[in-house]
């Protein structure tokens, strides 16, 4: 139990070292809907919980995503790290 509290588990080493969330283990496919889970893009007009569409997969960590407002108008389209969004159905 002490090893778990100290973060010395296989789970923590896999995800902690690389800074990846469990989301990265899920398959993100082209044209899948995703939700922004951070407010760090507020200057680009993007807010947490906005919905976007995956347009391109560059590698297992970076994806081109187009984000839309409530009316469906495109707001932004650029590469995002997998830790910045989550897949939705």
pLDDT bucket at 70, cuts 50 / 70 / 90: confident
How far is Cα 64 from Cα 30, in angstroms, rounded to an integer?
Answer: 9
pLDDT tens figures, 17-66: 445 445 445 689 999 999 999 999 999 999 999 999 999 999 999 999 99
Is 2.30.30 the CATH classification of the domain at 22-87?
yes
How far is Cα 61 from Cα 74, in angstroms, rounded to an integer?
Answer: 23
51: enclosing H helix or E strand: strand 51-57
- CA nearest 80: which of 34, 49, 43, 45? 34
Give the distance, in angstroms, between the CA of residue 40 and the centroid of all CA atoms in the same chain.
12
């Amino acid at each position: 139990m002490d090893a778990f509290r100290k973060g010395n588990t296989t789970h923590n080493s896999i995800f902690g070292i690389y800074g990846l969330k469990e989301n990265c283990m899920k398959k993100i496919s082209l044209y899948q809907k995703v939700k922004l889970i951070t407010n760090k893009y507020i200057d680009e007009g993007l807010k947490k919980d906005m919905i976007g569409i995956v347009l391109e997969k560059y590698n297992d960590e970076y994806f081109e995503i187009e984000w839309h407002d409530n009316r469906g108008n495109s707001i932004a389209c650029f590469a995002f790290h997998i830790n910045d969004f989550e897949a939705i159905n």
